[in-house]
Every structure is written in C-alpha cells, then in structure tokens.
Amino acid sequence: MVREHHSGALGLKVSVDAHSGFCNGVVRAIREAERHLRLNVPLYALGAIVHNNEELQRLEAMGLHTIDPKELSSIQGKTLVIRAHGEPPSTYATAHAQHLSIIDCTCPVVLRLQKDIKKEYARIAPLHGRIFIFGKRGHAEVNGLIGQVGGDALIIEHPDQVGQLDYSLPISIFAQTTQDPESFHCLCNDIQTNFLQHGMDPAHCFFVHHTICKQVAERKPFLQQFAQQHHTIIFVCGKESSNGKMLFETCTTANPRSYRVENSGNLSANWFSALTSVGVCGATSTPKWLMEEVALAIQKL
C-alpha cells in the first residue's frame, strides 16, 4: 500500500511507502518523550533517541537534551529517557546514584534479547563456551547486550571473521535486532560448516538464537517489491542508521536507480526523468513526516 502524490512539473507520480517509517519501539520512545516534554519537564536522552537528525532537531526544539555517557554523572535529580536501543546495567546503576528519574523506553524485543543473552551466558559460561553477537561494534544496542554479561561477549561484524573463531568450544550466537536476516542465516551456515571441518558436531556445540526483530525482517521483502515497482527510488534515512544502511542496500539491489538522502535538501533534479514514477521510502528510524516532506519536494521539481 502506498500514498500517492499528484505529479508536478516533470509529470512525476510520487508514492510514499506505507510500510516504511518508525518501528514500534521507536514510536513508543518518541511518544513518551513528547508526553513529558509537553509538561515542560527538563528531559535528557542518553544518546540520540533515534538515528535521524531531522527528528532529533524537532525534539530538541521541544526541549529534549541529548547527552553522552560521560555527561551522565554530571546531572542530578533530572529525568532521563532510555531509548529503544536499551542500555547496560551500569547505566542504570549510575542513573540511580545520580537520583535520576528514569523513563525506560527499551524496546520490548531488545529487552527480551537482553534477558535471553544473560540467561544463555549463565548456561554456557560454565562449559567454557562463548557468546557471539552479530552486530555493529559500538552500536548502542550492542553495547547494551554486551553489558548484560559484563563485557564477556564477542562481536561479529563481517562473515570473514568466522575463520578466526575457536571451534574447540561451544558457541551461542545472537543477532542485533536490526540485522539482515539473510546475512545472519549465511553467517550461521558458515560457522556450522567450520565446526564440521574441525570434527565437531554443531548439534552439540553451536546454538543459534533467532533474535532479529520480526517487524524489521518483514520490511525487506516489502521494500524489494516497492523498489521494483518504481522507476526511481528515494530512500530517506540518517547517516548513523544501521537499519537504514541494510535497507538501502535492499533498494539498490532491487533497483539501481535508488538514491539515499537525509532530507529534501539532498535531492538532485538529475536523478529524475519526466513522466516516470518515484517511490519514497525509509528506515525504521525515519519519521513519516520527513518522507512526506521529501515527496512534496520531489513533486515540485
């Protein structure tokens, strides 16, 4: 399902992908932030509440203060919002020590993943096994996951790292919730093959936990279809969005005439041909209002 805009000077038919936009976790976090900001309560977010500069600027204009972890110990008695990415236990300890009121907006999917990693670590650590996380090093969600096991977990960012693993001991693998399901599947197959090559039975020493968000995973096939249905694709997302990078690659694979922008100011008239269809879509961190704004700007070309 798409929302169509009337064609402009170039005769373009512009459609906005109805499946794109904030995931449920981000919607919940922003709704809670807005609710407190309307009460004129000073509100602090530990890191970007969403990886989209346009949306951040809107919230900051309402009074949201974005701080980094080093600044957490410098505020006392304030209200802190925990974003959907989640945080390690150490963050909560520091917040309580600073007498901060906490609005915990950790995504329920991420929260469940945190609990599962902690539980699996308690099981596999006595067996000298290791926890691996397929995700982006330094990403807020990944930092929160590692924190559940006191930092005793390893990150896999690229498939070529599987050759460096120790296949003499058990491995439990999890995935950052916004990772590409196909890449995770291929990675797990490679690890299983390596276990076999080392004379180990994967059934007894390799444990795969399917932790990619279903809502995120389902967007890829929809986006592939949407990209194929349009002559030109404009993908809207922030530079820091991991999910955006993955979904934009989905667009470019399905349609080479795909372009990535942060806002309407990044558009180039050279990307468009007269009397063609344009599809506007985005990441789970891209607000609907921003995609609509970009669509209207295209309409005016």
CA distance 265 to 280: 15
Which residue in 54, 55, 87, 141 is the catalytic one? 141
- Pairing state between β 43-46 and 2-5: unpaired
Helix axes 219-228, 242-254, angle to 10 degrees: 40
Cβ proximity of 58 and 22 under 8 Å:
no
176 near 242, Cβ under 8 Å?
yes
Tell me whether residue 141 is one of the annotated catalytic residues: yes
Asked whether 172 and 207 are in contact (CB, 8 A), the reply is yes
Closest of 87, 71, 73, 77 to residue 29, by C-alpha? 87
Among candidate residues 83, 2, 51, 22, the one with its CA nearest the CA of residue 216: 22
CA distances from 63 to 34, 58, 76, 95, 183 (A): 9, 9, 17, 20, 39
- Residues tagged active-site: 141
